Amino acid sequence: MPTVAFTVDLDPTPAYYAIHGLQWNGGADPIFQSGLKRLIDLLKEEGIPATLFVTGGTLGPAEWALLRDAAAAGCELADHSFSHDYRLSLRPQEDIVTDLKRNSFALRENTGTAPRGFRAPGYNTSPAMLAALREMGYRYDSSLFPSPFYHSAKQMLIWLKRLMGKRSVSFVGSFRDAFGPQEPFTPGTAVHTAGTEPGLVELPITTLFPPVGLPLIGTALITFPAPLVHLMVSQALKRDFAVIEMHAIDFAETADGIELRPLSDRQPDLAHGIDRKLKRIRRTIQRFKERGFTFETLGAIADRHA
């Protein structure tokens, strides 16, 4: 039976300020206060689980309460680093382990759940990071983003910001990752993990139409022309395994808080209202259901590749 994972990176609003070279001066985080609530409501209505990648360093009691609600609804809470440092992959292994331990502790203390998987901020990984994940005993990583289209667009935007005098904290770690495998594999071997001993498994984010690699992510589903979105999903439905990658901001709109206004002309998804966003997300979910896909968490999928 074909399987799909609905995954969501819970990047906080300050992370987007940092990407665009803006100064965050504190305040409420509408991405959590509004976006995460809508996400949880949608998952309950659709009756599907999701894997939520959590950055614990910025969360308060209200946000942790929402995450406990998500866990109670069947979601998996995974590690997205404590600091959401886009250059975490460049640090020594011991520094990465320290960050992961802080986030793991925060998740256990506030939700009673220990993370089993990880996605790197900015999708940037490294041998030191993979070694840190193994040291932590994590079951899977889902940072690989095999998309020349995405990596090239990201690098171009970084250069454009520099020309405008804005220095983004984002960076492109390695273009080799843009040409990585599409199916689950054991890092270091690039082979399917079925039949091997349990260990760290890589679960790549789904991209389509190689070698271009159009990404099956929220920004594409929301902002691309409807015929292209339909074609992308149709292509994904031909596979036996897919990972949809969303962000909490995909469930927010500029009207949710003044903190999002400085991002309105910088984040393409914020150019669209919540009605369009939810309609396109729901339609994508429905098409996978209609094709007979089972929605599972990444942790459950990783366990089957033991």
Render pLDDT for 82-140 as a digit per residue (tens, 0 to 9).
999 999 999 999 999 999 999 999 999 999 999 999 999 999 999 999 999 999 999 99
Q: Is the pLDDT of residue 195 over 60?
A: no
Question: For 38-52, 173-187, 188-202, 223-237, which range has the lowest pLDDT when averaged over its residues?
Answer: 188-202
| Alpha carbons 194 and 236: distance in angstroms, whole number | 22
Which tops the pLDDT comparison, 161 or 27?
Answer: 27
Predicted confidence (pLDDT) per residue in 18-70, tens digit: 888 888 988 789 998 899 999 999 999 999 999 999 999 989 999 999 999 99
Q: What is the pTM of this model?
A: 0.92
What would the two tokens of residue 288 be?
């996978």
Question: So what's the pLDDT on residue 160?
Answer: 72
Question: So what's the pLDDT on residue 193?
Answer: 36
pLDDT category of residue 153 using cuts at 50, 70 and 90:
confident
Task: State the DSSP string of 118-150.
Answer: E--GGG---HHHHHHHHHHT-SEE------HHH
Complete domains list, the chain, with CATH? 3-143+216-304 (3.20.20.370)
Predicted confidence (pLDDT) per residue in 238-256, tens digit: 999 999 999 999 999 999 9
pLDDT category of residue 196 using cuts at 50, 70 and 90:
very low
Please, what is the Cα angle at 199 between 145 and 240, to 5 degrees?
Answer: 50
Contact 291/2 with Cβ under 8 angstroms? yes
Amino acid identity, residue 271?
A
Residue 53, H or E segment? strand 51-54
| Alpha carbons 67 and 221: distance in angstroms, whole number | 24
Q: What is the DSSP letter of 35?
A: I
Q: Is the pLDDT of residue 197 over 50?
A: no
Query: Per DSSP, what are the bridge partners of residue 141?
Result: 118, 202
Q: Is the pLDDT of residue 234 over 50?
A: yes
Backbone angles phi, psi at 9, to 5 degrees: -85, 125
Cα separation values, 199 from 120, 133, 152, 159, 160, Å: 18, 10, 32, 38, 41
Backbone angles phi, psi at 40, to 5 degrees: -60, -40
| Alpha carbons 228 and 188: distance in angstroms, whole number | 34
Q: What is the chain's mean pLDDT, rounded?
A: 91
Question: What is the phi-psi region of residue 294: left when phi exceeds 0, alpha when psi lies from -120 to 50, beta otherwise?
Answer: beta
Which tops the pLDDT comparison, 265 or 298?
Answer: 298
pLDDT category of residue 198 using cuts at 50, 70 and 90:
low
Q: Closest Cα to residue 15, out of 283, 260, 289?
A: 260
